[in-house]
């Protein structure tokens, strides 16, 4: 599904103005002219390949994303991407319309996020024909792992042997360089010793020894990644996820995160997407505090979408404590997404549940209580080192189904109900919902995977055998089957409601702390849905807010239960962890 656009093989004036300004800020006046010539020449080549244009809205209530590895489901004697296509086609068609296949390129570690070759498909998964087959029936999200590369990447091999072009693609610093101000997601050293032809050198490695940061201060690196971006678009990617982009630019004497130059690079990539492939959506993955995260919207000129990183820890906290105070306050305070932008909502992914996005929202003691509970549920906590050398929790590593097996009162029998409630809330919130495959299948902690890999994140990265998974999903006596089919049902309901359009208005209500409630109103004002969720283990009787229609003519329709409430109904009873989507009818 190529999305390449042509304008008589000419780039519009607005683009050249913006691009020139951004390149000036990044690389200085003396390089602007030659870099602009290079950029325009490259983009004109891309324009000429395919003159297809994009029309229509960027997204709708029908957009629902599945997050999965290319080999999360496996079958003997079949390429994993073929197995994935079969599973999507037979079991999820109509429930999701998009799939985020986590890095499907050759890699050396971190399950794909240490990329060896950006331009080929990992042969252990399949090839480009498998990717293109999936893209014919489902919109594709592809990772642009833009901050770092594998030690086995050709660029880094060239660096070690002092060969062009890779010899100038990395950040080399003296061992004694003071990096104490640098914000870290890990506890490993910032500077990693490597042996080169010129002896031992120290290179910048934000995430670890096999993820070496590239140097965007070299414009050649920028152009390498522009080429990769254009390749992914040409292969049909509707969504491009900029992995770990907040750490992109480094500057001495700064925190080396969220720098202005980083934002300018993202804006330039957005400009390129808007002019060459305007149906493509740029997403920033920035596991940082809430205000920093949403800054990547820019002024509607940066990311189209940002991950809603604050949602997972706050919703987990709300369900663990049976109290919506912090969750409700945050949703009230969260600004509406700018024009032509929206949020990507999720509760779980291949990574853990980030805790930095809760900074300044959840008190530290509340965070620690949550961390302690996840330890009790056999989860792990990854740590990071701050600028003062102190270690603090960075993310919780646990399968979401196990994270919801109890509350601060202990284990109980509401695990499945609590899990479905969490997703019913997430699915209804303003933005586009993304469900991790191991949430859809209610996968439990994979401690065997942790033992095999030696990495705590593997606890939520199980590899299913296809026959084994289907047996679980078709066994009505197991929670996997009930949850799988109920989540699919909720997704199908969602996709038919105009009030659940990603940009439809949202208003959080203050009913009581045992429930979480909000209105959604369609863009044309013709549909209003009241979402009320009992987040406690006690039955709640909730007074209904005033019906939005005139006089006393209105009735309520419960979209989940498929029942109608009389116009005289003034309150509703919700059982523990029950969620209702009430459509207001005239």
Q: Tell me the CA distances in angstroms from 320 to 374, 403, 509, one per residue in order.
A: 10, 9, 20
Residue with tokens 């005139």: 550
DSSP annotation of 76 = T
Q: Are 122 and 80 in contact (CB under 8 A)?
A: no
137 is in an annotated binding site: no
Query: Judging by beta carbons within 10 Å of its beta carbon (0-12, 13-18, 19+), is residue 573 exposed, middle or buried?
Result: exposed
Q: Give the DSSP H or E segment for 557.
A: strand 555-558
CA 537/CA 418 separation, integer angstroms: 9
Which residue from 269, 338, 262 is spatially nearest to 297, judged by alpha carbons?
338
Could you identify the residue written with the tokens 């804006």?
Answer: 267
Q: Is-contact 44 15, C-beta < 8 A? A: no
Q: What is the DSSP string of 329-355?
A: HHHHHSPPPPTT-EEEE-S--SS-EES
Reading the block at residue 174, the tokens are: 């003296």
- Any idea how long the chain is? 586
Name the token pair of 572: 């509703």
b/e sequence 488-497, b meaning 16+ C-beta within 10 Å: bebbebbbeb
480 is in an annotated binding site: no
Instruction: Select from 188, 306, 286 the least CA-distant residue to 246.
Output: 286
The residues, ordered by sequence, that sit 6+ positions from 477 with a Cβ below 8 Å of its Cβ are: none
What gap in Å lies between CA 69 and CA 62, rounded to an integer? 22
Fill in the DSSP letter of residue 91.
I
**Token pair 């399949």: residue:** 126
Q: Is 274 annotated as a binding residue?
A: no
Tell whether residue 148 is among the known ligand binding residues: yes
Distance from C-alpha of 188 to C-alpha of 212, rounded to nearest angstrom: 13
> Is 243 tagged catalytic?
yes
Query: Is 336 assigned a ligand-binding role in the annotation?
Result: no
Q: How would DSSP label each residue in 280-294?
A: -EEEE---S-HHHHH
Residue 559 is labelled as binding a ligand: no
Helix axes 80-87, 466-473, angle to 10 degrees: 20
Which among 391, 349, 390, 342 has a CA at the least distance from the CA of 371?
Answer: 391
Residue 564 burial (CB count, 10 A): 14
> Distance (Å, rounded) from C-alpha 509 to C-alpha 95?
29
418 appears as a binding residue in the annotation: no
Helix count (H) and strand count (E) of the chain? 17, 28
| Residue corresponding to tokens 């203050």 | 510
Q: Tell me the three state secondary structure of residue 55.
A: coil
Which residue has tokens 């986590």?
102
Annotated binding residue 255: no
Q: By C-alpha distance, which of 294, 300, 369 is closest to 333?
A: 294
- Strands 579-585 and 555-558, sheet pairing: antiparallel
Q: Out of 210, 243, 271, 402, pick the active-site residue.
A: 243
Annotated binding-site members: 110, 148, 241-243, 350-351, 457
Binding positions for substrate are 110, 148, 241-243, 350-351, 457
The catalytic site residues sit at 243
């Amino acid at each position: 599904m190529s999305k390449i656009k042509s304008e008589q093989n000419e780039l519009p004036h607005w683009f050249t103005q913006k691009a020139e300004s951004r390149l000036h800020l990044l690389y200085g006046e003396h390089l602007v002219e030659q870099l602009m010539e290079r950029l325009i020449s490259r983009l004109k080549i891309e324009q000429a390949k395919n003159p297809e244009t994009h029309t229509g809205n960027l997204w709708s209530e029908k957009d629902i994303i599945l997050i999965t590895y290319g080999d999360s489901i496996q079958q003997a004697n079949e390429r994993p991407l073929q197995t994935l296509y079969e599973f999507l086609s037979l079991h999820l068609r109509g429930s999701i319309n998009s799939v985020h296949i986590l890095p499907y390129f050759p890699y050396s570690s971190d399950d794909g996020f240490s990329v060896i070759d950006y331009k080929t498909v990992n042969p252990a998964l399949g090839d480009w024909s498998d990717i293109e087959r999936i893209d014919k029936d489902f919109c594709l999200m592809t990772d642009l792992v833009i901050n770092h590369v594998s030690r086995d990447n050709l660029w880094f091999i060239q660096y070690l042997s002092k060969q062009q072009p890779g010899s100038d693609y990395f950040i080399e610093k003296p061992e004694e360089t003071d990096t104490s101000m640098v914000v870290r997601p890990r506890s490993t050293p910032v500077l990693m010793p490597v042996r080169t032809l010129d002896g031992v050198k120290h290179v910048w490695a934000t995430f670890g020894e096999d993820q070496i940061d590239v140097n965007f201060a070299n414009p050649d690196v920028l152009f390498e990644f522009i080429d990769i971006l254009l390749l992914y678009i040409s292969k049909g990617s509707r969504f491009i996820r900029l992995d770990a982009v907040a750490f992109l630019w480094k500057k001495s004497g700064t925190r080396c995160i969220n720098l202005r130059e980083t934002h300018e690079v993202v804006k330039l990539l957005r400009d390129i997407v808007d002019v060459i492939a305007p149906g493509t959506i740029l997403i920033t993955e920035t596991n940082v505090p809430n205000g920093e995260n949403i800054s990547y919207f820019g002024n509607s000129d940066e990311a189209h979408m940002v991950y809603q990183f604050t949602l997972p820890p706050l919703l987990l906290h709300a369900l663990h404590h049976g109290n919506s105070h912090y969750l409700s306050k945050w949703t009230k305070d969260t600004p509406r997404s700018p024009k032509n932008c929206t949020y990507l909502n999720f509760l779980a992914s291949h990574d853990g549940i980030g805790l930095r996005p809760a900074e300044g929202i959840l008190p530290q003691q509340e965070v620690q209580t949550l961390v302690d509970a996840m330890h009790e549920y056999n989860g792990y906590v990854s740590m990071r080192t701050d600028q003062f050398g102190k270690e603090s929790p960075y993310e919780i590593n646990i399968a979401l189904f196990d994270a919801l097996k109890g509350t601060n009162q202990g284990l109980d029998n509401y695990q499945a109900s609590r899990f479905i409630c969490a997703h019913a809330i997430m699915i209804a919130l303003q933005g586009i919902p993304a469900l991790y495959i191991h949430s859809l299948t209610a996968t439990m902690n994979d401690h065997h995977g942790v033992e095999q890999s030696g990495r705590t994140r593997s606890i939520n990265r199980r590899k299913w055998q296809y026959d084994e998974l289907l047996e679980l999903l078709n066994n009505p006596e197991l929670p996997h089957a009930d949850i799988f089919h109920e989540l699919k049902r909720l997704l199908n309901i969602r996709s038919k409601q105009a009030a659940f359009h990603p940009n439809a208005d949202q208003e959080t209500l203050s009913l009581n702390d045992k429930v979480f409630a909000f209105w959604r109103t369609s863009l044309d004002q013709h549909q209003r849905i009241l979402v009320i969720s009992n987040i406690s283990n006690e039955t709640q009787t909730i007074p209904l807010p005033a019906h939005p229609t005139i006089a006393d003519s209105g009735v309520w329709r419960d979209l989940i239960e498929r029942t109608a409430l009389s116009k005289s109904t003034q309150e509703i009873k919700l059982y523990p962890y029950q969620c209702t989507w009430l459509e207001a009818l005239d």
